[in-house]
Amino acid sequence: MRMSKYLLNTLKEVPREAETLSHQLMLRSCMIKKVAAGIYTYMPMGYRVIRKIEAIIREELNREGCIELLMPAVQPAELWQESKRWDFYGKELLRFKDRKGADFCLGPTHEEVITDVVRRELKSYRQLPLNLYQIQTKFRDEIRPRYGLMRGREFIMKDAYSFDVDDQASEKSYWSMYHAYARIFHRCGLKFRAVEADSGAIGGSYTHEFHVLADTGEDTVLSCTHCEYTANIEKAECRKPESVEHGDFLETEKRETPGKKSVEEVAEFLGVQPENLIKTMIFVAEDGTPVAVLVRGDHEVNEVKVRNFLGLNALELADEETIRAATGGPSGFSGPVGLNIRILADYAVREMENAVTGANEKDMHWLNVNPERDFKVSEYGDFRLAEEGEQCPRCEEGRYEQFKGIEVGQVFRLGTKYSESMDCRFLDENGKEKPAVMGCYGIGVGRTAAAAIEQNNDENGIIWPVNIAPFDVMILNLDVRDEDVSIAARTIEEKLEEMSFEVLYDDRDVRAGFKFKDADLIGLPLQVIVGKRGLKEGVVEVKVRRTGDREKVAPAEVPRKVVELLNSLKEQEEQRR
């Protein structure tokens, strides 16, 4: 491709709207253009990357026996009413009416449609397993779209849905997708982790998220240094503390702590360590029932764990008024002593001795409070956030290591939620009717591209992994008006294209420095630099974008060199962990 004929206007300055690096670089390298909040045009350069990622996804899914189809973006309300999600889904679902006044929505996901498709076709267990996928544009009316493709409202997603005869078969489908995903992200040249995650309100036994590791990621992932255990911080289990021998319980004592509310303030004021405090958080369930959650002063409550333990969809921190009603005191001075609501306590609290707690009274705390002696706990459990450096809950040797990640994919077991509500059944070998057991599997295509940039860049721009780079090689003609240089550059272009490499040939009549800057910004894996200076010595330069290494080779040697360098880059990238 001749750059002089291509649509690629790079920006030297950073557009104000761009916060994250990948967003900035995508705008500067003319990959995307914003049309409205969270809605983008994929410009030629950006679309090439999208297509590369899609191709890898297709290959790996087809290898697993998945079948591609394409469902509509616009979906009728009836299907969503049937699955009960029309009312449940919330404002993220963009709804509208057609000219006849019938309700429709833009599909944020396709469980309903796929279940409808399959129930019409599925008759016998002989047709299973079945795994159908599509790559398509989805729409979720996010409250706050941001970071470019990282969190758009309209986005390209690969979604797959598996249908199986029973749980066991469904699990097999699940793991086959899990492994396909691992191959996909490896091939994309990304460092990633498959992490155990919270399965959320949708229910389901377990789920893995695939996170690309990047410091700018929005999610926190904890991974054991020794064993395989890796989990989203929302889910990461805490090791149950060793039971300790309880010794001398001291007499409780009420002490004035004027204006001291936070753990730090109280601990400092009383001259004790934060881990000697019991932090009492008051939450309210969906139905308005208050619940107290107790954790050690230096720990944080994990709301997801609490919510799941209680089997709730929603759980909120109580407001001042609710706290007063539930405890009799103002916020900041809550404590379990004499409290008459349900009390959940983290395991670590059970091991505490002579602790400090709020007294449910303004400016007052209790000293020497002991669980069971001074208050009753309804249930003990794992209710806190795990932290980096803690001992792994699954093995003896390892400790938690913390990463920031960008969620690019998820594999999820749906069970029979949709097949039952929407009547997607088949006859088993005994002629008995059964609902299909389903799974769903998503990959954010645009987000994968953005994550790749977050993970692969330097101060000069993007460094594309070979397999998803928009082109393989950039040729820089530094002296377009010099006949010999141009002939040499064109010859190299033709040769490489004959070998089916994708080549971007910078034949623009601009200064050399301009081309170098653009080439680094765009970030193709290799640059072939053809200039008067080198040609005089009979050489051109081949530069590796990632390392900056340059090698002088004879023009005729370029194809061989390109093959060699691309292969070695590819190999390195696919091995990255």
Partner RNA sequence: CGGGGAGUGGCGCAGUCUGGUAGCGCACCUGCCUUGGGAGCAGGGGGUCGGAGGUUCAAAUCCUCUCUCCCCGACCA
- For RNA, the closer of residues 390 and 479 by Cβ is 479
The first and second tokens of residue 109, run together, are 């996901």
Decide if 361 contacts 317 (C-beta within 8 A): no
What is the rounded CA–CA span in Å between residue 557 and residue 549? 17
**Residue 7 phi/psi, 5° resolution?**
-105, 95
- State the nearest-atom distance from the C-beta of 145 to RNA, in Å: 6
Strand order across the 253-256 sheet = 253-256, 364-369, 355-358
Q: Kindly write down the DSSP assignment for every residue of 493-518, as one continuous string.
A: HHHHHHTT--EEEE--SS-HHHHHHH
- For RNA, the closer of residues 37 and 556 by Cβ is 37
Of the candidates 459, 445, 528, 463, which has an alpha carbon nearest to the alpha carbon of residue 212? Answer: 445
- For RNA, the closer of residues 295 and 411 by Cβ is 411
What are the Cα distances from residue 234, in Å, to 14, 193, 226, 386, 546?
35, 15, 21, 9, 35
The first and second tokens of residue 227, run together, are 């064993």
Decide if 227 contacts 262 (C-beta within 8 A): no
CB atoms within 10 A of CB 423: 13
Decide if 234 contacts 198 (C-beta within 8 A): yes
- State the nearest-atom distance from the C-beta of 264 to RNA, in Å: 20
The first and second tokens of residue 219, run together, are 């999610």
Q: Can you give the binding site for RNA, defined by CB under 7 A?
A: 9-17, 19, 28, 34, 36-38, 90, 92, 109-111, 142-147, 159, 199-202, 207, 314, 316, 410, 412, 440, 442, 460, 478-479, 481, 511-514, 516-521, 529, 531-534, 541, 543, 550
Of the candidates 202, 221, 224, 199, which has an alpha carbon nearest to the alpha carbon of residue 210? Answer: 221
Q: Which helix (H) or strand (E) holds 41?
A: strand 39-42
The first and second tokens of residue 432, run together, are 């008995």
- State the nearest-atom distance from the C-beta of 533 to RNA, in Å: 4
Of the candidates 456, 466, 500, 469, which has an alpha carbon nearest to the alpha carbon of residue 570? Answer: 466
- State the nearest-atom distance from the C-beta of 405 to RNA, in Å: 13
- For RNA, the closer of residues 216 and 391 by Cβ is 216
Residue whose tokens read 């992490």: 195
- State the nearest-atom distance from the C-beta of 317 to RNA, in Å: 9
- For RNA, the closer of residues 200 and 559 by Cβ is 200
Of the candidates 52, 49, 57, which has an alpha carbon nearest to the alpha carbon of residue 159? Answer: 57
- For RNA, the closer of residues 9 and 575 by Cβ is 9
**Residue 170 phi/psi, 5° resolution?**
-65, -35
- For RNA, the closer of residues 496 and 529 by Cβ is 529
Decide if 323 contacts 282 (C-beta within 8 A): yes
- State the nearest-atom distance from the C-beta of 370 to RNA, in Å: 33
- State the nearest-atom distance from the C-beta of 17 to RNA, in Å: 4
- For RNA, the closer of residues 99 and 481 by Cβ is 481
- State the nearest-atom distance from the C-beta of 244 to RNA, in Å: 34
- State the nearest-atom distance from the C-beta of 259 to RNA, in Å: 24
- State the nearest-atom distance from the C-beta of 378 to RNA, in Å: 23
The residues near 132 (Cβ < 8 Å, ≥ 6 apart) are: 66, 67, 68, 69, 114, 117, 118, 160, 161, 163
Decide if 28 contacts 43 (C-beta within 8 A): no
- For RNA, the closer of residues 162 and 276 by Cβ is 162
- For RNA, the closer of residues 271 and 513 by Cβ is 513
- For RNA, the closer of residues 80 and 333 by Cβ is 80
- State the nearest-atom distance from the C-beta of 251 to RNA, in Å: 40
Residue whose tokens read 């649509």: 7
- State the nearest-atom distance from the C-beta of 208 to RNA, in Å: 11
Helix axes 445-455, 21-28, angle to 10 degrees: 100
- For RNA, the closer of residues 392 and 529 by Cβ is 529
